[in-house]
Structure 1
Amino acid sequence: MKIVMGFSGGKDSTLALYKIQNNPDYEVDSLLVTLTEGTGRVSIHGVRHELLKQQSESLGIRLREVWIPQECSNDKYQEIMRKTFSELKADGVTHIAFGDIHLQDIREYRENLVEGTGLTAIFPLWNHSVDDISNQFIQLGFESVITCIDLEALNKCFLGRIYDRELLKDYPKNHDICGEKGEFHSLVFDGPNFKFPLSFEKGAEKVTPDYFTGKDRFLFIDLIPIERTDHKQ
């Protein structure tokens, strides 16, 4: 079965991809990623397109890029995605995977979006314990950096930190350690399915407002790609 991974470059979609790669029933076709026009960055996560291309190269899986306008309406987003899913089906893709864990409304939204396209949506991490997922992610050797935080959920000290056991100890107990409700977003820069680690340096921080209230809410750190001269063998 030919499958596309709905991919953000973050930890949950990367772990879901890893599980699919270790399932002999699936052939991974590509990574489907949404980027925002005019910014050259992964939508919501704010990661530069160049780092996403590094991920694709290291993972050895091609990108399928979907570009959406800034301040994209839900109707426009659905129109773009349904067209994309039709193209996937025409290319022989049978399944699309997502890294969602437990938010039922998000799962239903994705399933409704895929419905009628001829594709089947699967969720490799669904209903797994967030504690188990976070520990498994680290135990497998994945390395990830926090690229964005919701200031209403987390202290700014978490921005730019590595997602490791020290972070798990410091993380507020009343929030989801996997960030399912948007507490944070991340970029995976190395792991067991990477041929080489991504190379980058931390740049400036930037605050953006909440779309509905206009209040400053989301804090990003710019990750600046560095051209690599050495790869893991």
Structure 2
Amino acid sequence: MPDSASKTVLCFTAGKDSTLSLTLLLQSRSPNAKADPLFKPHVDHSVDYNIVRCVAFAPRDKPFRAHPQDIVKAIAQECLGIPFEILYVEGPDMVAAYREHILRMHTDDGASFLATGDMQDVCSAFMDRVVEPTPVKLVRPLWQLDPDLTLRQMLGPYGLTVLVTCVDAHQVEPELCDALLGKVLTWEVYERWLKGQDKVDQCGERGEFHTLVLDSPLHKRRLEIVRGHKVAEPGLRHWWFEVEEWRVVDK
């Protein structure tokens, strides 16, 4: 059994980055042999990362339409079997608000690591500043990895079923918005719309698009979208895929 030094809390949106990060952490001692040799995530292979909880930091008054919290909770708890909690944060000092939660992770959960799916710097090294004076170390398996290579690993050897739930119409051309929104990222979609793109990050790391992972080899059960529709209006910056009905089903 992993000892207390490996207890880890994961920032989790049920999107592709946090789901792949979860997979990489749980497979730290036995990396995927089918992955591209050039794909080198930042994971300490001498550590057994024991994921004790998934969390999402969120303001109380702002719904996450790209990652509906009832769906994220169901994916974490019912599909993956990991406890999930929303950690509410309020200003004006957001660093202090985040840090208070992280210190509680250490005292209440015995966590030594906080893992995120971040691939690029967000808000001037915000998470680095949050954890710096705490006993909790930041782990970012995907940090600054090549986005095209990373997306290909998600679709290939790691087998993620990725649904695009939101696109930024100010960054993404209308034709590409329509091609991605509400669709599962398949090899065909990648080859036609994302491969070799220089205007759009293949992993959407500049906020071009957001996702939910419906299934993966790690999932004990999968999420099925029964019914949904696109919310795409002229002049609207973010186009959404509104999930109207969903269910967790056996695999």
- Do Structure 1 and Structure 2 share a fold, with TM-score over 0.5? yes
Structure 1 position 170 matched with structure 2 position 187: no
1:84-233 counterparts in 2 under 5 A? 84-91=101-108, 92-101=110-119, 103-106=120-123, 108-139=125-156, 140-154=158-172, 155=174, 156-157=177-178, 158-171=180-193, 173-174=197-198, 175-206=200-231, 216-228=236-248, 230-232=249-251
**Percent identity of equivalent pairs:** 25
The question of whether the paired residues in 2 share the 8 Å contact of 1:171 and 1:177 is answered with no
Distance 1:200 1:77 in 2: 34
TM-score by length of 2: 0.78
The question of whether the paired residues in 2 share the 8 Å contact of 1:10 and 1:187 is answered with yes
- 180-189 or 162-171, larger mean C-alpha shift: 162-171
The question of whether the paired residues in 2 share the 8 Å contact of 1:50 and 1:225 is answered with no
Distance 1:205 1:36 in 2: 25
- 218-227 or 198-207, larger mean C-alpha shift: 198-207
The question of whether the paired residues in 2 share the 8 Å contact of 1:149 and 1:184 is answered with yes
Distance 2:122 2:12 in 1: 19
Structure 1 position 62 matched with structure 2 position 62: no
| CA drift at 1:127 | 2.7
- Matched with 1:6 is 11
Dislocated runs of 4+, deviation >4 Å? none
| CA drift at 1:104 | 3.3
| CA drift at 1:208 | 9.1
Distance 2:18 2:218 in 1: 13
Distance 2:192 2:97 in 1: 40
Identify if the C-alpha distance between structure 1 residues 177 and 104 changes in structure 2 by more than 3 Å, giving closer, same or farther: same
- Matched with 1:21 is 26
TM-score by length of 1: 0.84
The question of whether the paired residues in 1 share the 8 Å contact of 2:55 and 2:86 is answered with yes
Give the letter for the 2:133 counterpart.
Answer: G
| CA drift at 1:15 | 0.3
The question of whether the paired residues in 2 share the 8 Å contact of 1:4 and 1:28 is answered with yes
Secondary structure of the equivalent of 2:223? coil
| CA drift at 1:181 | 0.3
1:32-71 counterparts in 2 under 5 A? 32-37=55-60, 41=63, 43=64, 46-56=66-76, 57-68=78-89
| CA drift at 1:191 | 0.1
Distance 2:13 2:241 in 1: 16
Identify if the C-alpha distance between structure 1 residues 150 and 14 changes in structure 2 by more than 3 Å, giving closer, same or farther: same
The question of whether the paired residues in 2 share the 8 Å contact of 1:202 and 1:221 is answered with no
Secondary structure of the equivalent of 1:199? strand
Identify if the C-alpha distance between structure 1 residues 37 and 224 changes in structure 2 by more than 3 Å, giving closer, same or farther: farther
| CA drift at 1:62 | 0.7
Distance 2:150 2:124 in 1: 18
- 195-204 or 11-20, larger mean C-alpha shift: 195-204
| CA drift at 1:207 | 5.6
Unaligned runs of 5+ in 1: 210-214
Kindly report the root-mean-square deviation, in angstroms, between the aligned alpha carbons of the 2 structures: 2.3
Give the letter for the 1:7 counterpart.
Answer: F
Identify if the C-alpha distance between structure 1 residues 108 and 203 changes in structure 2 by more than 3 Å, giving closer, same or farther: same
Identify if the C-alpha distance between structure 1 residues 107 and 93 changes in structure 2 by more than 3 Å, giving closer, same or farther: farther
Distance 1:188 1:136 in 2: 14
Give a deviation string over 1:159-204, Cα, whole Å, max 9, x none.
Answer: 1111121221232512110000000000000001001110223424
